[in-house]
Amino acid sequence: MTKLWGGRFTQTLDPSAVDFSYSLSFDYELLPYDIQLNRAYVDALTTAGIFTTAERDIVQASLDRIRDRIPQIIANLPDDEDVHSLVERLVIDDVGDLGKKMHSGKSRNDQVATDLRLYVKDAIEGINTHIHACFKALYDLASDHVDTVFPGFTHLQVAQPVVLAHHVLAYFEKFMRDQHRFADAYERADQCPLGSAALAGSNYPLDRYQLAESLGFSDITRNSMDAVSDRDFVLDALYAASMITLHISQFCEELILWSSSIVGFITIGDAFTTGSSIMPQKKNPDIAELLRGQAGAMLGQFVAVHELIKGLPLTYNRDLQDDKKYLFTALKTTQASLNCFAKMIPTIRVNTDRIHAALNSGHILATEIADYLAMKGLPFRSAHEVVGQMVQEAEAQGCQVHELPLSTLQTLSSHIKPDIHDWLSIEAAISKKNGVGGTAKTSIRTQLHHIKEAFKW
Ligand code: ARG
């Protein structure tokens, strides 16, 4: 293994320890960021008088050549201990002793913390683009189904009628919160630790604000000991990732259920379903199932990093090296999941016949009758009791509660008048819920309008 240290050692590292501590196999993902960091750092060292401008140009040109070779380097990873050792060694191989000045006043500790923050910021920007595609897909689906009445469920039992757009926009809200969580994670990642060196700060007159600015950070970290030990931003990003994949999992579970031949509310397009190797008739929602399955591992990755950090004393400890394994996997899976989800949603086709059949089950208008009675002056708890009896009667007659003849309803409650008919349709039940957040088509249209304005679609 090529390494940056060794002066004080008489023996070489045991091969098992070499293998165990080698991180280039995964931290090569930081290559572009480490090169970018070194480039900016060489500028800072030039201002600090360590490099002449001519020397700076030579080292930076070398870093540029390394950047151009990233794909080849990744295709054939050398045995350098980690990405930081690799970049420094490549510069030294290229420009000789001049390259040996590059590490003046910095440590791999502030370097890895900076690289990782750059990685997280970039990944969140990528995730954001995918979240926007999901927003658009959900908005389009909702816009197409403002008039599609749909059974709302609690406990997966038919509860009250809604419009399908309302159900879909519920996920829009969840994704909005997820986007905010990622924005928070971004903000916390957006401070530059470079200049913290190993733990105590740097002996060199580095302009940390200038360094931060040239690396695209909004601010600098305030405490070098915190800066090299802090991985809160990693956990923030992992938590946000676990939440959005959790929401994807929930929606996919519904899509899987709705697309089952038993339910038949929707079909998912051929581009996102697969066949069976034995049963020729099958059309399976495999992609939705795979999406449903990601959330558990996401939480696992959050917990893995949380437990790496638990109990770590200040400042840098090598345990931290492994945070990257979990972070990279989680953020890449998040991007891939969002990408698939956004593309699958527009392939959904809605089968209104099956939905109408479901709407005529579960005594879906029972609560409407209770509210009607309450508005006629009967205390709601008593109204609830009376409607329970009506449901019993309907069950006995083999019909829905709202299909009982007026006379039967009236024998069970003298408060029932012919105007009950204004309450006993799915459309009426929906249109009455016209407050903010309710399922009335007017409310949904307003909500869609606000979204369209906010997103400038
Ligand atoms: N590969 C290490 C990591 O990812 C870089 C920092 C090494 N620092 C050290 N003092 N050994 O955390």
For 11-22, how does the pLDDT look when each residue is reduced to its tens digit (9 = 90+)?
889 999 999 999
Q: Is 90 exceeded by the pLDDT of residue 4?
A: no
Positions of CATH 1.10.40.30 in the chain: 357-455
Burial, 72: exposed, middle or buried (Cβ in 10 Å; 0-12, 13-18, 19+)? exposed
Q: Is 70 exceeded by the pLDDT of residue 28?
A: yes
Give the right CATH number for 15-104 from 1.20.58.740, 2.70.98.60, 1.10.3720.10, 1.10.275.10.
1.10.275.10
Atom of ligand 1 nearest to the CA of 81: 1
Q: Is 70 exceeded by the pLDDT of residue 2?
A: no
- C-alpha span between 231 and 116 (Å, rounded): 9
Average of per-residue pLDDT across 338-353: 98
CA atoms within 13 A on the CB side of 18: 10
Burial, 27: exposed, middle or buried (Cβ in 10 Å; 0-12, 13-18, 19+)? buried
Positions of CATH 1.10.275.10 in the chain: 15-104
- Count Cβ atoms below 10 Å from residue 48 Cβ, excluding itself: 15
**pLDDT class for 87, splitting at 50, 70, 90?**
very high
Average of per-residue pLDDT across 28-40: 98
Q: Is 284 in the pocket of ligand 1 (CB under 6 A)?
A: no
Q: Is 23 in the pocket of ligand 1 (CB under 6 A)?
A: yes
Tell me 7's DSSP state: T
Residue with the nearest Cα to atom 5 of ligand 1?
Answer: 108
Angle 366-375/380-397 helices, nearest 10 degrees? 140
Average of per-residue pLDDT across 56-60: 98
Average pLDDT, the chain: 96
**pLDDT class for 7, splitting at 50, 70, 90?**
confident
Q: Is 82 in the pocket of ligand 1 (CB under 6 A)?
A: yes
Element (H, E) at 219: strand 219-220
Q: Is 112 in the pocket of ligand 1 (CB under 6 A)?
A: yes
Candidate of 86, 234, 305, 321 to mutate for ligand 1, largest count of ligand atoms within 8 Å of Cβ = 321
Contact present, 450 and 172 (Cβ < 8 Å) = no
- C-alpha span between 237 and 282 (Å, rounded): 38
Q: Is 90 exceeded by the pLDDT of residue 328?
A: yes
Element (H, E) at 138: helix 108-144
Tell me 98's DSSP state: G
- Count Cβ atoms below 10 Å from residue 81 Cβ, excluding itself: 21
Residues 339, 24, 41, 105, CA torsion sign: positive
CATH topology of domain 109-149+168-203+218-351: Fumarase C; Chain A, domain 2 (1.20.200)
Q: Is 70 exceeded by the pLDDT of residue 258?
A: yes
Give distance in angstroms: CA of 31 to centre of ligand 1.
Answer: 14
Q: What is the pLDDT of residue 283?
A: 85
Residue with the nearest Cα to atom 2 of ligand 1?
Answer: 321
Residue with the nearest Cα to atom 12 of ligand 1?
Answer: 321
Residue 191 backbone phi and psi in degrees, to 5: -130, 135
Q: Which residues pair with 349 in a beta bridge?
A: 267
Q: Is 70 exceeded by the pLDDT of residue 354?
A: yes
Q: Is 70 exceeded by the pLDDT of residue 3?
A: no
CATH code of 357-455, in short, is 1.10.40.30
**pLDDT class for 24, splitting at 50, 70, 90?**
very high
Give distance in angstroms: CA of 112 to centre of ligand 1.
Answer: 7
Q: Is 90 exceeded by the pLDDT of residue 213?
A: yes
CA atoms within 13 A on the CB side of 276: 7
**pLDDT class for 269, splitting at 50, 70, 90?**
very high
User: What percent of the chain is predicted at pLDDT more than 90?
Assistant: 95
Q: Is 90 exceeded by the pLDDT of residue 275?
A: no
Candidate of 8, 34, 230, 318 to mutate for ligand 1, largest count of ligand atoms within 8 Å of Cβ = 318
Q: Is 317 in the pocket of ligand 1 (CB under 6 A)?
A: no
Closest CA relative to residue 428, chosen from 367, 352, 368, 364: 368
Give distance in angstroms: CA of 270 to centre of ligand 1.
Answer: 47
Candidate of 26, 30, 84 to mutate for ligand 1, largest count of ligand atoms within 8 Å of Cβ = 84
Q: Radius of gyration over alpha carbons of the chain, in Å? A: 30
Q: Which residues lie below 8 Å from residue 29, measured CB to CB, with a gap of 6+? A: 119, 324, 328
Give distance in angstroms: CA of 122 to centre of ligand 1.
Answer: 21
Average of per-residue pLDDT across 319-329: 98
**pLDDT class for 280, splitting at 50, 70, 90?**
confident
Report CA-CA distances (Å) from 290 to 249, 252, 272: 9, 9, 11
Average of per-residue pLDDT across 114-128: 98
Closest CA relative to residue 166, chosen from 455, 444, 445, 450: 444
Q: What is the pLDDT of residue 1?
A: 62
Give distance in angstroms: CA of 43 to centre of ligand 1.
Answer: 23
User: Catalytic amino acids?
Assistant: 155, 276
Burial, 125: exposed, middle or buried (Cβ in 10 Å; 0-12, 13-18, 19+)? exposed
Tell me 274's DSSP state: B
Q: What is the pLDDT of residue 5?
A: 66
Chain centroid to CA 218: 23
Structure tokens at 441: 């088509």
Q: What is the pLDDT of residue 6?
A: 74
**pLDDT class for 277, splitting at 50, 70, 90?**
confident
- C-alpha span between 179 and 436 (Å, rounded): 22
Q: What is the pLDDT of residue 373?
A: 96
Give distance in angstroms: CA of 23 to centre of ligand 1.
Answer: 9
Positions of CATH 1.20.200.10 in the chain: 109-149+168-203+218-351
Question: Over the stretch 391-426, which tens digit does the pLDDT of each residue have?
Answer: 999 999 999 999 999 999 999 999 999 999 999 999
Q: What is the pLDDT of residue 424?
A: 94
